[in-house]
Structure 1
């Protein structure tokens, strides 16, 4: 199983094949994917799901409040039907149903997931939720991934990536929630909207693997047709809209 930071590295497509990289068999620390509205979190999360599904291990469990509006078009093996079949989508419509789903994970039949993804965590942190409730949900996510890891067996494990939308001008309550979540998710990837190129939506992705490796940054550009072009930072720092570098397909 790829470490979670490595799963995102491959989703961001550094131009290295799986055969040329050395990955640990352990899942690694849980990772928090952070960004504002329209920052490509869902596209990157789904791309990470495709990468994990191509490992030849267990399925991927993708939790989100509503079905995805569209899927990245992809090229080559990215949207291989066999990979797509290994991604199991579930749509808990409320916080209560998300908690129920996680609490009943031990009753699920079939092979345990090798990767657990949750998109739109902020949609479940609603109402008068305080630090205690936020900590409970974070701990429950980690416990669920740990349970799946136990099912898979030693030396492999189930990874966990959670996407959270953040606001540039968040209030003190939002800052407290984020600070609390960062204690549970030591690895983080920040997505920040950057300069807009002609007909493109450009982002800056900053990955901190939580002490499990070097930090890395990329320019990410989404074209109107949904193509996601990725350029390692700072090689193309002066030209974020450049077509150079590696690319994959997706949409923000």
Structure 2
């Protein structure tokens, strides 16, 4: 279950035992994880948390409005209680509580997180939020990750991955919010359910690291027993970005 998250983290240089033994302050841009309902965003975030927890660095801070209903299936590292203990879950129930939590991050005691994850950003972008409010929340997330990086010390850093649910046919307000968020999160990973893939439940994952490296695409197949396999997406001809839909449509 860890291979997809490891591949994403390597592509973003957010830290990988195979290529780097520690995070760097210049590790790469924060990542915006995009996909429709049921596209596997939460599973991938949790897998990234488990993979980071096994690197022997600081704790992982996982923010979400609701507790996870189940753990991903798997063996070995996935079920390692020592990894699970390093993941600190917090459940701000509203936008106000989320903002309070981020604003008070500098007051928190203990080791700084090596990875900050936020699941379900769309649940906090509610009401009559306009561009200024969306920009404020995005900037606050980046500032919090930067603060944790400063706490960790020179030569290290705190990664940031935020998951946002998008609709295939979003309204103009959703499109404006996404366009604004993309300014703060130049690196993006699009997830799309694909029934033609090699597995019982298959996703197409497209990673654009925001100019920090080449674009990459994978099949992510979930088998009936919960095991996840990752294979490269077939090579595309012509312009590699020609099949990527517009931001407002949410297609990879």
**CA 1:23–1:134: 2 relative to 1, 3 Å:** closer
Aligned-partner SS, 1:213 = coil
Task: Using the TM superposition, give the Cα deviation of residue 77 of structure 1 relative to its aligned residue in structure 2, in angstroms.
Answer: 2.2
Q: Which moved more, 1:222-231 or 1:41-50?
A: 222-231
Task: Render the CA deviation track for 1:180-202: whole Å, top value 9, x for unaligned.
Answer: 00000011100011125697121
Task: Using the TM superposition, give the Cα deviation of residue 55 of structure 1 relative to its aligned residue in structure 2, in angstroms.
Answer: 1.2
Aligned-partner SS, 1:230 = strand
Q: Which moved more, 1:139-148 or 1:193-202?
A: 193-202
**CA 1:166–1:191: 2 relative to 1, 3 Å:** same
**CA 1:15–1:121: 2 relative to 1, 3 Å:** closer
Task: Render the CA deviation track for 1:78-105: whole Å, top value 9, x for unaligned.
Answer: 3321111111000001111000100111
Name the count of aligned residue pairs: 252
Task: Using the TM superposition, give the Cα deviation of residue 241 of structure 1 relative to its aligned residue in structure 2, in angstroms.
Answer: 24
**CA 1:15–1:86: 2 relative to 1, 3 Å:** closer
- Distance across 1 between alignment mates of 2:17 and 2:243: 20
Aligned-partner SS, 2:224 = coil
Task: Using the TM superposition, give the Cα deviation of residue 108 of structure 1 relative to its aligned residue in structure 2, in angstroms.
Answer: 0.6
Q: Which moved more, 1:126-135 or 1:215-224?
A: 215-224
Task: Using the TM superposition, give the Cα deviation of residue 141 of structure 1 relative to its aligned residue in structure 2, in angstroms.
Answer: 0.4
Aligned-partner SS, 2:78 = coil
- Distance across 1 between alignment mates of 2:59 and 2:201: 31
**CA 1:247–1:143: 2 relative to 1, 3 Å:** closer
- Distance across 2 between alignment mates of 1:157 and 1:184: 18
- Distance across 2 between alignment mates of 1:22 and 1:106: 23
Contact 1:231 1:245 in 2 (8 A): no
Contact 1:230 1:247 in 2 (8 A): no
Any unmatched runs of 5+ in structure 2?
none
Task: Render the CA deviation track for 1:216-247: whole Å, top value 9, x for unaligned.
Answer: 11111223332222211117999999999999
Contact 1:200 1:241 in 2 (8 A): no
Aligned-partner SS, 2:157 = coil
- Distance across 1 between alignment mates of 2:250 and 2:35: 16
**CA 1:120–1:11: 2 relative to 1, 3 Å:** farther
Task: Render the CA deviation track for 1:137-161: whole Å, top value 9, x for unaligned.
Answer: 0000011111111100112111100
Any unmatched runs of 5+ in structure 1?
none
Moved over 3 A (4+): 1-7, 9-17, 19-27, 196-199, 235-252
Matched, 1:35 2:6: no
Aligned-partner SS, 1:236 = coil
RMSD over aligned CA atoms reads 6.7
**CA 1:158–1:59: 2 relative to 1, 3 Å:** same
Aligned-partner SS, 1:77 = helix
**CA 1:159–1:198: 2 relative to 1, 3 Å:** closer
- Distance across 2 between alignment mates of 1:249 and 1:50: 31
